[in-house]
């Protein structure tokens, strides 16, 4: 765990990266539901890897404190619960959900039961994985507390390498479309989190020139192109074989490294720190939460059928409505929840400090 006090608390460029990642995920879902058949757009799902690496970098670069779980809950739960409840109550497709689907979607455990991914909420599988990382992080930090930096680097890399064995385990590889898909459980994505953790370990010791960023973006685009080829692995929702899945994970990890590391270990970015990208970064979590439900509404709104094209129109409308809803979600749910929990934290800190204050010597 990084504890260097001279590191900046906040890196605005990473907020811009969050915005780019959120819109990239919108692209892949709009492309699929409009039936464009653009294989390259399908690989915009690698922006999920960017989200994982960003979270790992931000959380691993600072020590876990007593308010860690409270802070994570305040960040994730309020907006998530409102979104899930709204979809369950208001979207016709969600009315087919059974009680177990409802309960698991409310508790971010839908990944761990058969058919847990519900209409309008299917994309939240990745949030289940991210929350598993949040839960495990203090344990990981405690286990590594006595390791040197080299030891931590070795442990993180070893865990990432070992994770490639997960898809080959018999109960994972046996998935045939029925039951629980163990392939998308958290162990599969250790590499994507490891990218961020390794970057955090290098912060303050490694500096990357901003001139490398255009090259990194081109390399990321090349990785997406290669990963979109038929020979690389199955397209669409076809379940990949273990080797194909591992290739996808490796490509996603390289993609995330190209996008995240040059900004995490580099200087400011005029583009990503501009007003528009900072605004979109601020509401990026709600963009991620709401965009699939909003996308589902755009087809009846426009009279366009699923898988019948019109990508540009559906994309523009989805982004516009999603930004509006996400801004409302941020202002009415995310920010008030953050301020409320921050106030609770200050009260708890003040209460804990009172006994020590009373016993201080007048001198």
Query: Would you put residue 303 in left (φ > 0), alpha (ψ -120 to 50) or beta?
Result: left
Give the residues of the chain that fall short of pLDDT 70.
1-6, 344-363
Indicate the angle between helix axes 47-60 and 190-202, nearest 10 degrees.
40
CA–CA dist 156, 59 (Å, integer): 15
Domain range list for the chain:
12-351
Which class for 111: exposed (0-12), middle (13-18), buried (19 or more C-beta within 10 A)?
buried
pLDDT number for residue 361:
30
Q: Give every CB contact of residue 188 below 8 A, 6+ residues apart in sequence.
A: 163, 166, 167, 245, 249
CA–CA dist 250, 192 (Å, integer): 9
Contact between residue 17 and residue 263 where contact means Cβ atoms under 8 Å apart? yes
Tokens of 91: 């979207």
Q: Give every CB contact of residue 105 below 8 A, 6+ residues apart in sequence.
A: 84, 88, 97, 116, 118, 121, 124
Contact between residue 313 and residue 304 where contact means Cβ atoms under 8 Å apart? yes
CA–CA dist 103, 74 (Å, integer): 20
Contact between residue 7 and residue 151 where contact means Cβ atoms under 8 Å apart? no
The alpha-helical segments, DSSP class H, found in 45-177 are 47-60, 68-90, 99-106, 125-143, 149-162, 170-173
pLDDT number for residue 362:
29
pLDDT number for residue 95:
82
């Amino acid at each position: 765990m990084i504890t260097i006090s001279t590191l900046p608390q906040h890196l605005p460029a990473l907020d811009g990266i969050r915005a780019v990642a959120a819109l990239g995920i919108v692209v892949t879902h709009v492309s699929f539901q409009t039936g464009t058949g653009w294989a390259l757009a399908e690989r915009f799902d690698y922006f999920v890897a960017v989200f994982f690496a960003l979270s790992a970098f931000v959380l691993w670069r600072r020590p876990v404190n007593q308010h860690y779980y409270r802070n994570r809950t305040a960040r994730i739960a309020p907006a998530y619960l409102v979104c899930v409840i709204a979809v369950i109550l208001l979207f016709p497709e969600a009315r087919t959900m059974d009680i177990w689907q409802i309960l698991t979607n409310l508790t971010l455990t839908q990944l761990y039961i058969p058919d847990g991914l519900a209409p309008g909420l299917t994309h939240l599988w990745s949030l289940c994985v991210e929350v598993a990382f949040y839960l495990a992080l203090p344990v990981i930090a405690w286990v590594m507390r006595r390791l040197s930096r080299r030891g931590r680097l070795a442990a993180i890399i070893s865990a990432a390498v070992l994770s490639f064995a997960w898809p080959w385990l018999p109960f994972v590889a046996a998935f045939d479309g029925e039951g629980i898909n163990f392939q998308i459980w958290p162990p599969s994505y250790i590499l994507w989190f490891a990218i961020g953790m390794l970057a955090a370990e290098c912060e303050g010791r490694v500096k990357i020139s901003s001139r490398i960023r255009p090259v990194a973006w081109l390399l990321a685009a090349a990785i997406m192109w290669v990963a979109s080829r038929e020979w690389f692995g199955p397209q669409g929702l076809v379940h990949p074989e273990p080797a194909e899945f591992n290739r996808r994970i490796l490509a996603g990890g390289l993609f995330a490294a190209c996008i995240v590391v040059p900004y995490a270990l580099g200087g400011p970015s005029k583009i990503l720190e501009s007003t528009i990208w900072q605004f979109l970064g601020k509401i990026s979590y709600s963009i991620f939460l709401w965009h699939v439900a909003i996308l589902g509404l755009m087809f009846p709104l426009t009279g366009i059928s699923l898988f019948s094209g019109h990508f540009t129109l559906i994309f523009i409308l989805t982004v516009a409505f999603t930004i509006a809803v996400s801004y409302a979600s941020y202002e009415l749910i995310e920010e008030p929840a953050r301020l409320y929990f921050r106030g609770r934290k200050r009260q708890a800190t003040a209460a804990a400090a009172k006994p020590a204050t009373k016993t201080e010597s007048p001198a």
